[in-house]
Amino acid sequence: MKNVATFIVIALFCTIGYAQNGPKIEFAAPDNTIDYGKISKGDNGVRSFEFTNTGDAPLLITGAESTVSSIVVTKPAAAILPGKKGKIDVKYNMVSGPIRKTITVETNAVNYPDGRVALKIKGEVL
């Protein structure tokens, strides 16, 4: 009986730890990565990272930027309500060669450490 009670207490604490309240961001792209594939310089270079707020509070995208100037990032200005979708647009400057870049998104999401999410683009411009 004592083992059963101990198990119930442990299970309760584990459940509480995983049941975080607040906004949560889930991206549609596998591994938070968009693959441009092999594309020509004539491509406009615009792709969108679509996401859903799966939490129970408004999701704020407070920042979205790349460390390189060849990428322009556009984030939503308004909060994304629970259950609603949003998108972050990325425009890559079509320079010949491989594409391997990371965009850092800062949010108030509770399902990522400090609300920071790394998005990646990859591919090759011919």
Encode pLDDT of 30-66 as tens digits.
999 999 999 999 999 999 999 999 999 999 999 999 9
* Torsions phi, psi for 67 (to 5 deg): -85, -5
- Tell me, what's the pLDDT at 19? 57
The overall average pLDDT reported for the chain is 89
- Please enumerate in sequence order all residues whose Cβ is within 8 A of that of 15, keeping only pairs 6 or more positions apart, or say none: none
| Every domain of the chain and the residues it spans | 25-125
* pTM to 2 decimal places: 0.82
Q: What is the DSSP secondary structure assignment for residue 8, as one 8-state letter?
A: H
CATH class of 25-125: mainly beta
| Residue 7 pLDDT > 60 | no
| Residue 13 pLDDT > 70 | no
CB burial of residue 2 (10 Å; 0-12, 13-18, 19+): exposed
Q: How far apart are CA 59 and CA 82, in angstroms?
A: 7
- Tell me, what's the pLDDT at 2? 58
